[in-house]
Amino acid sequence: MLKCLEVQQFALIENLQVEFAEGLSLLTGETGSGKSILVDALSLLLGEKAHGEMIRTGAEKAVVTGLFELADPALRARLEAAGLEHAADELIIKREVSQSGKGRAFINSQMVSVGFLKEIARFLADIHGQNEQQTLSESDSQLAFVDALADAEAPVAEVRELYAHWQDVLQQMARLQNSEQERLRNMDWLRFQLDEIEKVKLKDPEEDESLAAEHALLANADKLFQLSSQAYAGLYEAENSASATIKQASRQVEELSRVDPRCAAFLEQLQAARIAVDDVALSLREYSLRIEADPKRLEQVEARLAEIERLKRKYGKTVKEILAFHDRSKRDLASLLTADENLAQLGKDRLSAASRYRDAAQLLSEKRKAAARVLEKTVAKELAELAMQRCRFRVAFSKTRAEPGIDGGLPAAWETAAGIDEVEFLLSPNPGEDLKPLVKIASGGEISRIMLALKSVRTLDGRGKCLVFDEVDSGIGGQTADVIGQKLKRLSQKNQVICVTHLPQIASYADRHYFIEKRVEKGRTVTRVALLQHQDRVQEIARMISGERKTESVLKHAAEMLKDSRR
C-alpha cells in the first residue's frame, strides 16, 4: 500500500506531499490541472524511464519519494537477497532525475539501480492507463493471472519441481556422456591427485595448525629459554630481584606497623605479593628447564609443513579442505568407474522424469484452459457493463512444435518450468476485426477498463498493493460510469485503489477524495492537491456535473449521489 507520495520540482509541481490510505482514493480536477502528473510521478518512482523535461523549469533536479507499507513476504525476501536493509513494515523509495535525464534511485537510503526498482514494482503497484500496462504487457503475468483464477498454485509448484528434477538428471547424463578417452584421462588425473594426497597421510584436519604452533616453539627455543631465565632471575634469583625487594620492604613495613598499627594491612598485602611473585618465578624456572633445542624435530616439522603447504597450493587452503577434496575425488572416480552402469540407470531416470513432468504439465494445462474459458465469459460480461459490449476477449494458448525425431527424454521447445503453455490475451475491439494481442491494439482507457474487468473477476493482489487507474472512464458516462464506480469500490475492499476520474458518478464512491488544482502563484504555474471533506466534495461533484454553474438543484443532486454511493 502507498502511504505517502512526496513530489518536488516535477513538471508543474513545486513541492507536494499527499498521504494515502486503504480503500478507494479518487483524484479529480479541471482538465489540465495535473491529475495525471501524480500518476507519472508514481510511475517514475517504480522504475519508468526518466527524461530532463520532467524537471520543473528553473530547477536542477526533480525528486519523487514514496512511503510504502511492506506487507508482501516475497518482496521482503527479494530485498534481503539483494542485501538491502529494511524496516519490518515500511519501505521508502526515492528517485532523483537531473537535467540530463540521468539520476539516482534509493531504497531506505541505500542506492539501487533503476532496473531493480522496475523489478520490485510488481510487488508494490500496478498502474493502468495511458502508457502504463505493467501487468497486461507480459505473457508471464497473463499466465500467472490464469493460474490464480484456476487456483493452480499447487500444480504449478509441482510442475516446477518435476522440471527441475528432469534438468538435474539431464545434467548428470551430460557429465557422464563425455568421450571414453576423456573419461580415461579424468580417471588417470583423479588417481594421480588421490595418490598425491594419500602419500602425505593426512588424518587430523587441524594438523597444520598444531604443527605451526610447535614450529614456533622449536624455532624460538633459545629465545624462549633466555627470556624465561631472565624473567626468573629478575623475579627471584638476582641480588636485587623483585622477591628480595619485596622481602626488604616487608621488614620495613613490619617495623613501621609497630609504631603505627594502621600499616599492618600493608604488610599482609606485601606478603601476598611476595608469594605471587615467587610462584610465577618458580613456574618460569620450570618452564625454562623444559625448553630443549631439538634441531632434528624442527627439521621434521618444517618438512611436514612443506608437504602440507604443497598440497594446499593445489587442493585447498586448509587440511580440512584438502581432505574434503580427497573425498569428492574419490566419489568422482568411483562414479567414472561405474559410468556405463550409471548412464544406463540415468537413461531410465530421464524417461521417467520426462513422463512425470509431462503428465503433470498436461493436467495443469487442462486446468488452465478450463479457467481461461471461464475467464473469457466472465470478462465479456464485465466488459459489457463497462460500455465495451462489442469487444471480444480471448485467452490464446500456443506451443512451439518440437523438431522432428526429437528424443522423448529431452524437453521440447515449449516445455519449461512453467509448464507447456504460453498464454496471450487477445482482443477485438470492434465487430469484424481479427483478434490481436491486447497491448498492441487497446487504447489507454480500454486497457484500464479491461484491467478493471480482470481485477473484478479475480485479483492477484493481497491487501497492501496499490492499483492505479488512469483514464478508466474514457469515452463513457451515465449508468456505465456508475458501474465502474461500484467495481472500483468492490476492488478497494482487497486492495488500495487510486483512480483519476472526470466523472461525478465514479467520484461519489471515493473513501478519500482529492481535488487537483492548477493555479498561478508569484507568476509561476503550480499544481496543488487538497483532501476534500463532505461539503467540499458536494461542491466538487457539483462542478463535475455542470461546470461552474452550481445551482441549488445541482448541489442537491451531488449530495444525493454521495448519499446513494454509501448504500
28 burial type by CB count under 10 A (0-12 exposed, 13-18 middle, 19+ buried)? buried
Average pLDDT of the segment spanning 234-247: 82
**Predicted confidence (pLDDT) per residue in 326-338, tens digit:** 999 999 888 888 8
> Cell triple for residue 12?
508543474
Whether residue 524 contacts residue 15, with contact meaning beta carbons closer than 8 Å, is answered with no
Q: Give the up-direction half-sphere exposure of residue 421: CA atoms within 13 A in the CB hemisphere.
A: 28
> Tell me, what's the pLDDT at 136?
63
Using alpha carbons, list the distances in angstroms from residue 538 to 31, 481, 482, 484, 557.
19, 18, 17, 20, 9
Which one-letter amino acid corresponds to residue 280?
Answer: V
Average pLDDT of the segment spanning 338-346: 81
Average pLDDT of the segment spanning 220-247: 81
**Predicted confidence (pLDDT) per residue in 197-223, tens digit:** 999 888 888 888 888 887 877 777 778
Is the pLDDT at 286 greater than 50? The verdict is yes
> Tell me, what's the pLDDT at 111?
92
Sheet holding 524-532, edge to edge: 132-133, 125-129, 466-470, 496-500, 24-29, 512-521, 524-532
Average pLDDT of the segment spanning 284-313: 82
* Residue ranges in 318-437 assigned as alpha helix (H): 319-337, 339-385
Most trustworthy range by pLDDT among 161-170, 273-282, 391-400, 556-565:
161-170
Is the pLDDT at 240 greater than 90? The verdict is no
Which one-letter amino acid corresponds to residue 515?
Answer: F
Q: Which helix (H) or strand (E) holds 517?
A: strand 512-521
Give the pTM: 0.58
Average pLDDT of the segment spanning 420-439: 84
Compute the distance between CA of residue 281 and CA of residue 55 in angstroms, rounded to an integer: 80
- Looking at per-residue confidence, does 177 or 535 come out higher? 535
> Tell me, what's the pLDDT at 137?
64
Q: At what angle do helices 534-546 and 552-565 cross, to 10 degrees?
A: 120
**Predicted confidence (pLDDT) per residue in 93-149, tens digit:** 999 998 887 889 999 989 999 999 988 888 888 887 554 455 566 778 888 889 988
DSSP character at residue 261:
G
Count of other CB atoms within 10 angstroms of residue 477: 13
25 pairs with which residues across the strands? 498, 512
> Tell me, what's the pLDDT at 258?
85
Please give the radius of gyration of the chain, using alpha carbons only, rounded to the nearest integer.
40
> Cell triple for residue 378?
466472465
Compute the distance between CA of residue 70 and CA of residue 544 in angstroms, rounded to an integer: 36
> Tell me, what's the pLDDT at 461?
47
> Tell me, what's the pLDDT at 278?
84
512-521/524-532 β-pairing = antiparallel
**Predicted confidence (pLDDT) per residue in 363-393, tens digit:** 999 999 999 999 999 888 888 888 788 888 8
Whether residue 453 contacts residue 424, with contact meaning beta carbons closer than 8 Å, is answered with no
Count of other CB atoms within 10 angstroms of residue 430: 9
**Predicted confidence (pLDDT) per residue in 477-521, tens digit:** 777 788 888 888 988 888 899 999 989 999 999 999 999 998 888
Average pLDDT of the segment spanning 533-551: 88
Q: At what angle do helices 339-385 and 139-149 cross, to 10 degrees?
A: 80
Is the pLDDT at 281 greater than 50? The verdict is yes
Whether residue 214 contacts residue 301, with contact meaning beta carbons closer than 8 Å, is answered with yes
